[in-house]
Amino acid sequence: MSLRQYEYALAVAEEGSVTAAAELLRVAQPSVSQQIRGLERELGVQLFDRTPTGLVPTLVG
């Protein structure tokens, strides 16, 4: 787990969407999505539930 992955996951949790987190962090949206997927793969858990209105942290997340 890198500091960047943690920062991106925290921003997504706070903002409720990858797009809003990317804007906050001033990075491209695909970069945030990629880091979140990589973190979930590395940890072996799903950190966010993907809903039509955004991302919601799971109990683990």
How confident is the model at residue 17, as a pLDDT? Answer: 92
**How many domains is the chain partitioned into structurally?**
1
What residues make up the domain containing 29?
A: 3-57
CB 57 within 8 A of CB 47: yes
60 has a pLDDT exceeding 90:
no
For residue 17, CA distances in Å to 26, 30, 34, 37 come to 14, 12, 14, 14
The model's pLDDT over 2-43, given as tens digits with 9 standing for 90+, comes to 899 999 999 999 999 999 999 999 999 999 999 999 999 999
Q: Give the domain CATH number at 24.
A: 1.10.10.10
pLDDT score at 38: 93
Average pLDDT (30-58) is 92
